[in-house]
Amino acid sequence: MTSAENLQAFRRDGRIVVVGASLAGLRAAETLREEGFTGSLTMIGDELGEPYDRPPLSKQVLTGWVPAGNTKLPRRREIDAEWLLGVPADGLDLAANHVHLADGREVPFDRVLISTGVRARPWFVESEAALDGVFVVRTREHAEGLQRALAAGPSRVLVIGAGFTGSEIASICRERDIPVTVAELAPAPLVGALGAMIGEVAADLQRAHGVDLRCGVKVTQLEGDAQGRLRRAHFEDGTTIDADVAVVALGGIRNTDWLRSSGLAAGVWGIACDTGCRALDLNGLVTDDIFVAGDVARCPNPIYEYRLISLEHWANAVEQAGVAAHNMVSAQADRWPHLTIPLFWSIQFGVNIKSVGVPTFADEVVVTQGSVPDHRFVAAYGYRGRVTAAVSFNNAKWLDHYRRLIETAAPFPPPCPAPDQPADMKPVPVDFPGPVLLAQGATVVVTGHDPSERRVTAVRQHR
């Protein structure tokens, strides 16, 4: 049989398994059917219920407006799938081509899409994480529990971590008139994603809205009472703060543990893939039948020196899922590269914060339009004299302009495109926290000497 005949047979009667039934998995499944795949489609997900949207969980769900169970995603079309929900996958066998489920079942496939996403990083002491009043926010059950705790009128909420999610939750607390303390290890909120200049603006924004913001501090212990309810938190400097709710917002952990012995290039950083969304194996060789999309994928981006970048962005999950699905049912010559310029948004303290590009891929930043004190401006990020990213505060209409500058490698600093040129347009160093704050550690070693025997081996991390 020719490969064209093989592809036709696969498109007609093949078996595709999607592991991870959230936004990326659902959109991929819809694209597979849209592109004419008529074989069997199996959706595997560890959560029960229909695929739902997560961004509202830290926003309109926590305000009490939208019930946590009411963010189910709209469908673009029928997908005629078999849904295996409530049981996580715990292994992938590339020799036998099947997915292993935690309850012992084995699900065979011809091609598989991995879209297992991330989970919330829990508080590091299990007994303290289990205290009544300690939350993370990733699933609708999490959001529902926290919403109830906020509705009960806590005396104070402690938010640990001032990234986007932590800042959004602090904003909701203030909107609900609940006293809130935000504890952040870095020198300012959002600094790890957007740098020191925007971090300072974000800090002003929080304080102006009555947040007790404490930066450069570390929470070391969560203390409960005899009934197992959270009472106070201890800081590294020996001080304490009384709080009956704590939200641990320390980012996510990519769900790759189940792939540990699969032979794929999977680890804490995600699953490496090519721009066609095909997974790489441990040796960095591209696989044929394993595809990756969404938060768990780590994909090279040619605009950013072909660096492998993983993005926990809604729009990236949708776009990458579409490309992956298209490529799963297409011949090599018809495949598409996932060449996206990252786009991200956050809503907090009445401000719409959006970013385009990769702000961490920069050495300088400059306010190109608007006014920082009014919280309505755009800042452009540059790397070695070209525009690589932009961040807007209540100025989203301009971001598309900056996307084009990034795509065309326009010179940095760019001119102000509008009449609202700021008085001072001097670029400043972008100033991200050093690698000590961000380091992840080694995950592989190389063995063998002869080119025919050199191989990469995964290192188990002991943490």
Each residue 287-326 as x (binds another protein by CB under 8 A) or -, in order, gives --------------------------xxx--x--------
Record the tokens describing residue 460, joined without a space: 């188990």
Contacting another protein within 48-87 (CB under 8 A): 48-50, 52-53, 55-56, 59-60, 63, 65-66, 70-81, 83-87
Least separation in angstroms between CB 352 and another protein: 4
Least separation in angstroms between CB 275 and another protein: 20
Nearer to another protein, 153 or 350 (CB): 350
H/E segment holding residue 328: helix 314-328
Residue from 8, 97, 352, 443 in contact with another protein (CB under 8 A): 352
> Which of 388, 98, 114, 118 minimizes the C-alpha distance to 273?
114
Length of the chain: 463
376 sits near another protein (criterion: CB under 8 A): yes
Query: How far apart are alpha carbons 7 and 5 in whole angstroms?
Result: 5
Q: What share of the chain is helix, strand, coil (3-state, %, to 5)?
A: 25, 30, 45
Query: How far apart are alpha carbons 22 and 317 in whole angstroms?
Result: 10
Residue from 186, 343, 380, 406 in contact with another protein (CB under 8 A): 343
Q: 69 with 363: CB under 8 angstroms?
A: no
271 sits near another protein (criterion: CB under 8 A): no
The residue count for binding another protein (CB under 8 A) is 48
> Which of 326, 337, 341 minimizes the C-alpha distance to 387?
341
Label the pairing between strands 106-108 and 98-101: antiparallel
Contacting another protein within 27-46 (CB under 8 A): 43
Which residues, 6 or more positions from 419, have their beta carbon under 8 angstroms from its beta carbon? none
Least separation in angstroms between CB 328 and another protein: 20
336 sits near another protein (criterion: CB under 8 A): no
Least separation in angstroms between CB 62 and another protein: 11
Least separation in angstroms between CB 205 and another protein: 11
Neighbour tally for 132: CB within 10 Å: 13
Computed over its alpha carbons, how large is the radius of gyration of the chain?
23
Nearer to another protein, 87 or 94 (CB): 87
Least separation in angstroms between CB 65 and another protein: 7
Q: Which residues bind another protein (CB under 8 A)?
A: 43, 48-50, 52-53, 55-56, 59-60, 63, 65-66, 70-81, 83-87, 313-315, 318, 343-345, 347, 349-352, 354, 376, 394-397
